[in-house]
């Protein structure tokens, strides 16, 4: 039974002691091997994006996880427990067609928050991307104004090659600037058709069958969210560099990468793109 133990005897002392020890050793080794195997299969099946967002969401503060209905004042203090994917949220489904939500969404005037323009012809994702339906049924995906100010003129966005499958809340693009790298989450489910020609959009995406936009922000709630984002950014920069960076009543600088030291720019990118 225990041939590798010198002088082993069929004695209760040996059996109990070595039995417990080897059971523990086997359980430890088995658990590690199981974790390794599951990791191997998850990477092979390309589940790493989902896992990335799951772990990143867990690291967000309660303030950052605030529910979209908390932003509009419908459910004050509520935190999201759906990883910002409202498609499976019963509360969101219940509130979606309520009068208040309708009123919030019905805001027709293009909003501007501290100089950040928010055209209302598109849906916004909480990772600072937007989605607009094109005339050919394709979806156009781009960075919102804050995202573009972080990207600046000398930054680069690494786009996924045509044919890449995108899934909501999984990393789709990579922003690189000043030695800082941040993952940008996909706002849609679909297949990349190719880069968008001209305009503000980054890519054209063929939507997946049954794709819905209920998880994306629209109208007035998008403006309320942007207020929170700027507040969050200001607080985070104050916390990370020890000084407040945006004065009340001011506007956000046109090119944040030029205004902020590298460390603060890194913090800002992480916060904006939810890559903490």
What mask, x for binding other proteins by CB under 8 A, covers residues 55 to 94? x---x-xxx-------------------------------
Q: Which of 1, 54, 94, 103 binds other proteins (CB under 8 A)?
A: 54
Q: 206 phi and psi, to 5 degrees?
A: -85, 120
For position 13 contacting other proteins by CB under 8 A, the verdict is: yes
- Give the shortest CB-257-to-other proteins separation in angstroms: 16
Q: Which of 81, 126, 144, 275 binds other proteins (CB under 8 A)?
A: 275
In terms of C-beta density within 10 A (0-12 exposed, 13-18 middle, 19 or more buried), how is residue 183 classed?
Answer: buried
What distance in Å separates the CA atoms of residue 246 and residue 192, rounded to the nearest whole number? 37
Rg (C-alpha) for the chain, rounded Å, is: 24
What distance in Å separates the CA atoms of residue 127 and residue 121, rounded to the nearest whole number? 18
For position 48 contacting other proteins by CB under 8 A, the verdict is: yes
Q: Which of 103, 110, 190, 270 binds other proteins (CB under 8 A)?
A: 270
Which of 45, 90 has the CB closer to other proteins? 45
Which of 82, 240 has the CB closer to other proteins? 240
Q: 45 phi and psi, to 5 degrees?
A: -85, 10
Strands 190-195 and 201-207: antiparallel
What distance in Å separates the CA atoms of residue 201 and residue 197, rounded to the nearest whole number? 8
Which residue's entry shows tokens 């200001």? Answer: 234
For position 32 contacting other proteins by CB under 8 A, the verdict is: yes
Q: Which of 222, 208, 86, 199 is nearest to 140 (CA)?
A: 199
Which of 38, 212 has the CB closer to other proteins? 38
Q: Which of 138, 139, 271, 272 binds other proteins (CB under 8 A)?
A: 271
Is residue 129 within 8 A of residue 231, CB to CB? The reply is no
For position 144 contacting other proteins by CB under 8 A, the verdict is: no
For position 36 contacting other proteins by CB under 8 A, the verdict is: yes
Q: Which of 34, 93, 156, 251 binds other proteins (CB under 8 A)?
A: 34
What distance in Å separates the CA atoms of residue 16 and residue 30, rounded to the nearest whole number? 21
Strands 123-125 and 129-133: antiparallel
For position 276 contacting other proteins by CB under 8 A, the verdict is: yes
Under DSSP, is residue 201 helix (H, G, I), strand (E, B) or coil? strand
Which residue's entry shows tokens 């209905």? Answer: 69
For position 235 contacting other proteins by CB under 8 A, the verdict is: yes
Residues 161-200 that bind other proteins (CB under 8 A): 179, 181
What distance in Å separates the CA atoms of residue 184 and residue 125, rounded to the nearest whole number? 11
For position 24 contacting other proteins by CB under 8 A, the verdict is: yes
Q: Which of 4, 136, 163, 210 binds other proteins (CB under 8 A)?
A: 4
> Residues interacting with other proteins, by CB under 8 A?
4-7, 11, 13-14, 17-18, 21, 24-25, 27-28, 31-32, 34-36, 38-39, 42-43, 47-48, 51-52, 54-55, 59, 61-63, 179, 181, 232, 235-236, 238-242, 244, 262-263, 266-267, 270-271, 275-276
């Amino acid at each position: 039974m225990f041939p590798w133990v010198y002088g082993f005897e069929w004695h209760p002392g040996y059996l109990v002691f070595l039995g417990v020890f080897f059971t523990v050793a086997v359980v430890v080794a088995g658990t590690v091997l199981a974790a390794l195997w599951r990791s191997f299969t998850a990477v092979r099946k390309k589940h790493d994006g989902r896992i990335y967002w799951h772990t990143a969401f867990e690291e967000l503060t309660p303030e950052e996880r605030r529910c979209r209905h908390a932003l509009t004042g419908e459910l004050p203090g509520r935190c999201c427990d759906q990883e910002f994917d409202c498609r499976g949220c019963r509360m969101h489904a219940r509130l979606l067609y309520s009068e208040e939500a309708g009123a919030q969404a019905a805001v027709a005037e293009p909003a501007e928050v501290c100089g950040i323009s928010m055209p209302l012809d598109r849906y916004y994702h909480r990772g600072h991307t937007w989605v607009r339906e094109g005339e050919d049924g394709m979806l156009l995906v781009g960075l919102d104004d804050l995202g573009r100010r972080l990207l600046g003129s000398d930054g680069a966005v690494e786009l996924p090659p045509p044919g890449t499958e995108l899934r909501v809340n999984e990393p789709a693009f990579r922003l690189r600037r000043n030695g800082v790298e941040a993952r940008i989450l996909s706002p849609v489910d679909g297949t990349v058709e190719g880069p968008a020609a001209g305009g503000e959009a980054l890519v054209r995406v063929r939507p997946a069958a049954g794709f819905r936009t209920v998880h994306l922000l629209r109208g007035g709630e998008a403006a309320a969210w942007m207020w929170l984002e700027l507040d969050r950014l200001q607080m985070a920069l104050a916390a990370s560099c020890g000084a407040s960076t945006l004065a009340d009543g001011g506007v956000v600088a046109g090119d944040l990468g030029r205004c902020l030291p590298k460390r603060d720019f890194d913090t800002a990118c992480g916060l904006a793109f939810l890559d903490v």
